[in-house]
A = this chain, B = another copy of it.
Amino acid sequence: MREPGVKVKDRILETASRLFYDQGYNQTGINQIIEEADIARASLYHHYPSKTDLLLAYLDRTHELWFKELEAFMLPIHGPKERLLALFDFRTKRQLRLKYKGCHFSKIVAEACEDEGVFDRVRAHKERFRQYIYDLVVQADHRKLLDNEMLTDTLFLLLEGGIALGAMYRGPDYAEKAKRIAMSFL
C-alpha cells in the first residue's frame, strides 16, 4: 500500500530547490522546508544529513535540469550560428519564467558559501556551458573578427553579463541588448 520511498526524498529536494532559489539559501530555514514539503523533520535529516548536503544536491539537480532544458530548447534549432543566438533566447526565456532572479550558480556564490564542494559545482557548470558555446563557435562560419577562443569568451561574457544585469534590473533589457551585440559579431 505504501508508495515507494523515493517520493519523500524528491519532495524535499524539489521544495528546497524552489525556496533556495526564490528566497535565498541562507534565508531558507529547515523549518520552512519540512513544512512546505509536508514531511517530518527527521525525514529530512535522514535523507540529507546536513543543510549543506541538501545544498549540494540542489546544485547537482539544477545543473542536470539546466542542460536537459537547454537540449530540449535547441532541438528545433538548426545551424551553429542560429544555435549560438538561441542561447541568448534560452536564457532570457528562462529568466522570464524565474522572474529575473539571476543565475542559480552565481547566486549561491554570492551568498558567501565558502564550501569547496559548492565552488566545484559552480565551476563545473560554467565550464560545461563555455564548452557548449565553443563547440558551436568552431562549427559556425562566423566573420572571423575574433578567433574561436575569443569569440567564445565574448559570447560567454555577454551572456553572463546580461543575466547579472537582468537580476539587478529585474528585467530582460540587457540580455536582449547582449543578443543584438552578439549578432553583429557572428
Contact = CB atoms under 8 A, between A and B. Distances in A.
Please report whether the interface of chain A is mostly helix, strand, loop or mixed according to DSSP: helix
A111 interface: yes
B161 A122 contact: no
Interface residues of A, number: 44
Given A153-B174, A157-B158, A105 B181 contact: no
Given A112-B101, A161-B158, A153 B181 contact: yes
A177 B161 contact: no
Number of copies: 2
A164 B178 CA distance: 15
B161 A157 contact: yes
Interface stretch (A21-29, A37-45, A58-66): A21-29
A64 to B, nearest CB: 19
Interface of A: 22-24, 26-27, 101-103, 105-107, 109-112, 119, 122-123, 126, 145-146, 150, 153-154, 156-165, 167-170, 174, 177-178, 180-181, 184
B24 A164 contact: no
A159 B160 CA distance: 10
Contacts of A107: 110
A184 B112 contact: no
Contacts of A178: 153, 157
A162 B106 CA distance: 12
A157 B169 contact: no
A160 B167 contact: no
B109 A168 contact: yes
Nearest to A178: B157
A165 B126 contact: yes
